[in-house]
C-alpha cells in the first residue's frame, strides 16, 4: 500500500497546514516566556535574524526534499542520494569527539547521547538523520507538548466560570496544582494531558485531507481573529506602551550567550524545523506550487503570529503591573491574574485559552504525521494501525512527563529514581525533553539537512524541485543557494559554539 496516494487538496490547504504546524504554543506560550526571560526586544532581533537567515533556508531545503522524494523524512534521506558518504562519516567522528569531551567533564548523560548518535551515523549514514527527524525529535516534542496541551484544556474548561480571574488566592492555588500535578489536581492533569494526546492522534488518524487539512483550514483563520480581538483589548489599557517598549526597544546589555542559543532554538521550534514536518508535509504537495513563494508565506505568517502574541501578552502584563520574567508558567499563572483585572474577564480568558488550544492542536498533529507515514511505509500498516501503535508506545510517557513538570515535587520517589538512580541531573523529564529537542536535536538536524542538501543531494536538484515561476522566485532561489552553502551552516555552528561558551 502506498501512503502517498494522499495529497493536499490545494496549495492553500498545504500552506494552512504548514502554518498550522508552525503556529502553536511556540509562538504564544514559549515565545512569551523566553522573551521575558532573555530581555525582550534585543532577543527578538536575534530571533528574527535566525528566522530569516537560518529558518527560511532550512524550510526550503525540507520542502524540496519532501516533494522530491514524495515519501517523507524516513525515505528522503536514503533514496535521493547515497546513504553513507564522507560527510556522514565526518559527522560521526565529530560526535565521538563531543562524547569524549562530555565524558571527561563527567557529563555522562550527554556523553551517552552523543555516543548513540555517533553509532547511528556510522551504521546507517544519512538514514540515521531520517530516523531522528521522523521519530526521535517530533515524538519527544509531542510528549511534552501534550502536557502543556493538557494544562490548556483544564484552563479552557475552568475559564468560563470566572472564579480563577476574580479570586487571586483561589486561582494561585488551583493553577499551581494543575501545573505541578499535585493535590486534588493530580489525576485531572494526567487525564487532560492524555486527552490532548488522544485528540491529536484521532485527527491524524482521519488522514491528510480529511483530518489535518480540514482541521487547519477551519481553525487557523479563527486563531487569527481571536488573537486580534485580544490585542485590541490589551492595547487600549493604560500603560500598554510599556509592553510595546519591552517588545520593540532593544537593550543589548540584557542579551547573553544563553539568550542567543535560546533564540536559535526558538526559531527552530516555532518553524517546526529539524523535526521532519517540512519533509512529511512537502511529500503530499503536488508539482504545481512554487516552493520559494510557499516557504516565504509560511515563515511570514508564523513570524507575524509571534509578534501578534507579543502584542497581546506584554501590554496586558505591563498594564496590570505584572512581571514578564515568570518562566514557563507565564501564560498560565500570570495571564489569568492580568485578565482578572479586566472587565468581562471570563470572556477574554476563555477566548485566549480556546485560541491556545486550537493553535496547539494544529501543531501537535504535525509531530505525529511523519512518524505515522514512516510506520505505514516500513511496517506496511494502515494509517489507523500506525496511529494505534504510536498511542501504545507514547501513551505511557505522557503521564510520566506530566508529573515531572514540577520537578517531581508531587511524586518524590519518581524524582529520586530519575535524579539519583539514573543521574539525570536535577532536571525533570519535561525539561529534558524541551531542552534536548529545542537546543540540540532540532538545530543539529537542521544543520545536517543543510549539509545534506548542499553537499550530498546537491543544490542543483533542490533548485529544480523548487519550481521557480517568476523573477521573485528566481532571485530568491539564487540568494538561497548562497545562504544555504555559506551563511546558515556557519551561523548555526557559531551559535552552538557560543552556547557552549567556546567562542566569543
Give the one residue of 21, 134, 159, 303 binding ligand PFF; rule: CB under 6 A: 21
Give the one residue of 80, 147, 203, 367 binding ligand PFF; rule: CB under 6 A: 367
Please identify which residue in the block is written with the cell numbers 480563577: 164
Size, binding site for ligand PFF by CB under 6 A: 16
Give the rounded distance of the alpha carbon of 146 from its chain centre: 12
Output the CA torsion sign for 59, 64, 70, 76: negative
Q: Which is nearer to ligand PFF, 21 or 113 (CB)?
A: 21
Residue 110 burial by Cβ neighbours in a 10 Å radius (0-12, 13-18, 19+): middle
Are 228 and 308 within 8 A, CB to CB?
yes
- How far apart CA 313 and CA 231 sit, in angstroms, is 8
Residue 130 engages ligand PFF in binding (rule: CB under 6 A): no
Q: Which is nearer to ligand PFF, 367 or 397 (CB)?
A: 367
Q: Minimum CB separation from ligand PFF for residue 123, in Å?
A: 25
Q: Minimum CB separation from ligand PFF for residue 320, in Å?
A: 25
Residue 32 engages ligand PFF in binding (rule: CB under 6 A): no
Are 94 and 410 within 8 A, CB to CB?
no
Q: Which is nearer to ligand PFF, 147 or 337 (CB)?
A: 147
- How far apart CA 500 and CA 282 sit, in angstroms, is 33
Q: Which is nearer to ligand PFF, 22 or 335 (CB)?
A: 22
E strand intervals along 144-297: none
Are 58 and 449 within 8 A, CB to CB?
yes
Residue 299 engages ligand PFF in binding (rule: CB under 6 A): no
**Closest CB to ligand PFF: residue number:** 26
- How far apart CA 52 and CA 168 sit, in angstroms, is 41
- How far apart CA 336 and CA 158 sit, in angstroms, is 11
Interacting residues with ligand PFF between 256 and 295 (CB under 6 A): 269-270, 272, 275, 277
Give the rounded distance of the alpha carbon of 460 from its chain centre: 29
Q: Minimum CB separation from ligand PFF for residue 429, in Å?
A: 18
Residue 118 engages ligand PFF in binding (rule: CB under 6 A): no
Are 400 and 393 within 8 A, CB to CB?
no
Three-state secondary structure readout of 425-460 = CCCCHHHHHHHHHHHHHHHHHHHHHHHHHHHHHHHH
> Coil, helix or strand for 504?
coil
Are 25 and 241 within 8 A, CB to CB?
no
Q: Which is nearer to ligand PFF, 185 or 364 (CB)?
A: 364
Helices 488-499/442-451 angle, 10° precision:
150
Q: Which is nearer to ligand PFF, 113 or 366 (CB)?
A: 366
Q: Which is nearer to ligand PFF, 62 or 473 (CB)?
A: 62
Give the one residue of 26, 149, 346, 489 binding ligand PFF; rule: CB under 6 A: 26
Q: Hey, what's the cell of 202?
A: 484521532
- Which segment (18-26, 96-104, 216-224, 314-322) binds ligand PFF by CB under 6 A? 18-26
Q: Minimum CB separation from ligand PFF for residue 446, in Å?
A: 11
Interacting residues with ligand PFF between 133 and 172 (CB under 6 A): 138, 141
Q: Which is nearer to ligand PFF, 185 or 362 (CB)?
A: 362
Q: Which is nearer to ligand PFF, 22 or 331 (CB)?
A: 22
Q: Hey, what's the cell of 466?
A: 523548487
Q: Minimum CB separation from ligand PFF for residue 484, in Å?
A: 21
Are 284 and 14 within 8 A, CB to CB?
yes
Residue 373 engages ligand PFF in binding (rule: CB under 6 A): no
Residue 358 engages ligand PFF in binding (rule: CB under 6 A): no
Are 382 and 376 within 8 A, CB to CB?
yes
Residue 174 engages ligand PFF in binding (rule: CB under 6 A): no
Interacting residues with ligand PFF between 392 and 451 (CB under 6 A): none
Q: Minimum CB separation from ligand PFF for residue 258, in Å?
A: 20
Q: Which is nearer to ligand PFF, 303 or 467 (CB)?
A: 303
User: C-alpha distances in angstroms, 370 versus 142, 183, 373, 379, 383?
Assistant: 12, 37, 5, 14, 12
Q: Minimum CB separation from ligand PFF for residue 144, in Å?
A: 10
Give the one residue of 3, 13, 20, 24 binding ligand PFF; rule: CB under 6 A: 24
Residue 25 engages ligand PFF in binding (rule: CB under 6 A): yes
Q: Minimum CB separation from ligand PFF for residue 494, in Å?
A: 23
Angle at 382 between CA 377 and CA 13, to 5 degrees: 80
Give the one residue of 27, 64, 171, 289 binding ligand PFF; rule: CB under 6 A: 27
Site string for ligand PFF, 310-349 (x = CB under 6 A): ----------------------------------------
Q: Hey, what's the cell of 61?
A: 531545503
What is the rounded radius of gyration, in angstroms, for the C-alpha atoms of the chain? 22
The residues of the shown chain that bind ligand PFF, judged by CB under 6 A, are 21-22, 24-27, 138, 141, 269-270, 272, 275, 277, 363, 366-367
Amino acid at each position: 500500500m502506498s501512503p502517498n496516494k494522499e495529497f493536499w487538496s490545494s496549495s492553500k490547504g498545504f500552506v494552512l497546514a504548514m502554518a498550522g504546524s508552525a503556529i502553536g504554543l511556540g509562538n504564544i506560550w514559549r515565545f512569551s516566556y523566553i522573551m521575558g526571560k532573555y530581555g525582550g526586544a534585543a532577543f527578538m532581533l536575534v530571533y528574527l535574524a535566525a528566522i530569516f537567515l537560518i529558518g527560511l533556508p532550512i524550510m526550503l531545503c525540507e520542502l524540496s526534499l519532501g516533494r522530491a522524494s514524495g515519501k517523507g523524512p524516513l525515505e528522503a534521506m536514503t533514496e535521493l542520494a547515497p546513504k553513507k558518504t564522507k560527510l556522514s562519516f565526518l559527522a560521526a567522528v565529530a560526535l565521538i569527539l563531543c562524547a569524549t569531551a562530555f565524558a571527561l567533564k563527567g557529563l555522562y548523560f550527554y556523553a551517552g547521547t552523543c555516543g548513540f548518535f555517533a553509532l547511528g551515523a556510522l551504521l546507517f549514514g544519512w538514514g540515521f538523520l531520517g530516523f531522528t527527524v521522523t521519530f526521535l525529535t517530533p515524538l519527544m516534542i509531542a510528549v511534552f507538548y501534550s502536557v502543556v496541551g493538557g494544562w490548556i484544556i483544564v484552563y479552557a474548561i475552568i475559564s468560563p466560570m470566572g472564579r480563577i480571574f476574580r479570586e487571586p488566592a483561589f486561582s494561585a492555588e488551583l493553577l499551581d496544582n494543575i501545573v505541578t500535578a499535585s493535590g486534588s489536581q493530580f489525576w485531572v492533569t494526567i487525564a487532560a494531558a492524555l486527552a490532548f494526546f488522544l485528540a491529536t492522534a484521532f485527527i491524524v488518524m482521519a488522514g491528510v485531507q480529511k483530518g489535518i487539512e480540514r482541521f487547519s483550514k477551519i481553525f487557523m483563520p479563527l486563531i487569527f481573529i481571536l488573537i486580534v480581538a485580544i490585542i485590541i483589548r490589551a492595547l487600549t489599557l493604560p500603560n500598554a506602551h510599556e509592553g510595546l517598549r519591552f517588545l520593540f526597544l532593544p537593550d543589548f546589555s540584557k542579551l547573553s550567550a544563553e539568550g542567543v542559543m535560546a533564540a536559535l532554538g526558538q526559531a527552530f521550534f516555532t518553524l517546526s524545523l529539524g523535526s521532519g514536518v517540512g519533509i512529511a508535509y512537502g511529500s503530499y504537495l503536488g508539482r504545481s506550487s512554487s516552493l520559494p513563494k510557499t516557504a516565504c508565506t509560511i515563515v511570514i505568517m508564523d513570524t507575524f503570529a509571534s509578534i501578534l502574541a507579543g502584542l497581546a501578552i506584554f501590554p496586558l502584563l505591563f498594564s496590570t503591573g505584572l512581571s514578564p520574567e515568570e518562566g514557563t508558567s507565564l501564560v498560565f499563572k500570570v495571564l489569568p491574574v492580568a485578565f482578572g483585572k479586566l472587565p468581562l474577564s471570563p470572556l477574554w480568558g476563555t477566548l485566549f485559552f480556546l485560541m491556545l488550544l486550537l493553535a496547539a492542536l494544529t501543531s501537535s498533529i504535525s509531530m505525529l504525521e511523519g512518524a505515522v507515514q514512516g510506520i505505514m511505509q516500513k511496517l506496511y500498516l494502515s494509517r489507523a494501525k500506525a496511529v494505534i501503535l504510536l498511542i501504545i508506545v507514547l501513551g505511557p510517557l505522557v503521564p510520566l512527563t506530566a508529573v515531572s513538570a514540577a520537578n517531581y515535587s508531587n511524586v518524590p520517589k519518581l524524582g529520586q529514581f530519575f535524579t539519583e538512580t539514573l543521574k539525570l541531573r536535577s532536571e525533570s523529564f519535561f525539561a529534558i525533553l524541551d531542552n534536548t529537542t529545542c537546543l540540540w536535536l532540532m538545530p543539529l538536524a537542521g544543520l545536517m539537512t543543510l549539509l545534506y542538501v548542499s553537499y550530498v543531494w546537491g543544490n542543483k536538484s533542490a533548485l529544480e524541485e523548487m519550481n521557480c515561476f517568476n523573477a521573485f522566485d528566481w532571485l530568491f532561489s539564487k540568494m538561497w543557494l548562497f545562504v544555504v552553502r555559506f551563511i546558515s551552516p556557519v551561523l548555526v555552528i557559531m551559535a552552538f559554539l557560543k552556547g557552549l561558551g567556546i567562542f566569543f
